[in-house]
Chains A and B, each alone.
Chain A
Amino acid sequence: MNDREMEKLIKAIDTDTSPPEGLKKELINKVMSLENRAAPILTPIEKFLFEKPLRAACFISLPVTGAIWAIMGNSFAAMLSSLIV
């Protein structure tokens, strides 16, 4: 490499470079979409059901059992017992 080429190279290194138009925005959008995929956006009902399904099942099962019990009375327990051989 002669002196002239060396000077050109140094100039090229010193020159400020900027990414092509729209590249930054595209990269940010890609990263955002990847993050959204990892942590999906949930509605309040989905949050209640899917974040802690065991807790949701507890909350749902109590009133459901109460309602069935209120309608069927002790016959519900009797029916359940009859199913268990």
Chain B
Amino acid sequence: MGYYGKQLRSYAKQPNSIRGEIKMINVLYKTIFAPLEVFSRQDKKGRLGASVTIVISTIILGSVIAPVLYFYASKDRYVISLNAESLILRTALSIATWLFVCAVFWLLSKAFKKDLSYKNIAAAWGLTYIPNLLTVVLYTILMVFPEINSGNILAAFIICTLFIMFLVWKAILYFMIMRFVIDTTPREIVIYTIVSAAVFTALIVIEFSVGIQVPML
């Protein structure tokens, strides 16, 4: 039996829960390095699980862990407080934002007669949270260690480049969903983008008003 045969046999021996995790990790890996295999109209096994995992991780990190870390890192320097209600509100609003954006995409797909399930859109859109997660990680590091960004021009340039890179990556993944999941025509993609821009702007304003600094979109 060759190498792949052994791999297959060891995979088959795994319990179902571990197999599910392997599938999810595989989906996450492909989303980063070979997204054409993940972003398609067909329902892929492990895609929704990977999507929910990445969205929840991003939200928990951005809405709960980052403020707690910032509080403990800065309580000796500034007078700040940690409000549990605010953390819960931010978490709930971030989850609602994800579901709402998916609902908007789904309704538009219905309007354009695309025959796409809400689950499929939610799974695909959730995977685009990988750049968000990395942005939140970088933002949290800079919040806890602000001295990284001050005084060193090279460090500031690298940090700026990383933020722009995550933004461009997110935009590319957005257009991949439009092209390969929702399967839009050029006219439809323009309409989608105009509606999305309006919805995203409104959601960013709402999120800012409750203290979410990295938009959870």
A positions within 8 Å CB-CB of B: 38, 40, 46, 49-54, 56-58, 60-62, 64-65, 68-69, 74, 76-77, 80-81, 83-85
Which residues on the B side are within 8 Å of A56 (C-beta)?
168, 172
Per-residue CB proximity of B143-165 to A under 8 Å, as 1/0? 10010011001001101111111
A81–B167 Cα distance when bound, in Å, is 17
14 further interface pairs, Cβ-Cβ under 8 Å (given A80-B156, A85-B213): A46-B179, A49-B175, A50-B36, A54-B33, A57-B172, A60-B168, A61-B161, A62-B161, A64-B168, A65-B160, A81-B146, A84-B139, A84-B142, A85-B70
- Contacts A50-B176, A84-B143, A84-B149; A77 near B160 (Cβ below 8 A): yes
Q: Is there contact, CB below 8 Å, between A77 and B165?
A: no
- Contacts A50-B176, A62-B161, A69-B160; A77 near B149 (Cβ below 8 A): yes
Per-residue CB proximity of B52-67 to A under 8 Å, as 1/0? 0000000000000000
Q: Is there contact, CB below 8 Å, between A65 and B164?
A: yes
The number of A-B residue pairs with CB atoms under 8 Å apart is: 81
A56–B36 Cα distance when bound, in Å, is 14
Which residues on the A side are within 8 Å of B36 (C-beta)?
40, 50-51
Which residues on the B side are within 8 Å of A57 (C-beta)?
165-166, 168-169, 172
Per-residue CB proximity of B175-215 to A under 8 Å, as 1/0? 11001100000000000000000000000000000000100
Size of the chain B interface, CB-CB below 8 angstroms: 34
Which residues on the A side are within 8 Å of B34 (C-beta)?
51-52
A74–B70 Cα distance when bound, in Å, is 25
Which DSSP category, helix, strand, loop or mixed, fits chain B's interface? Answer: helix
Q: How far is the CB of B122 from chain A (nearest CB, A)?
A: 20
Q: 7 closest A-B pairs (Cβ-Cβ)?
A: A61-B165, A77-B156, A57-B169, A53-B172, A57-B168, A61-B164, A65-B161
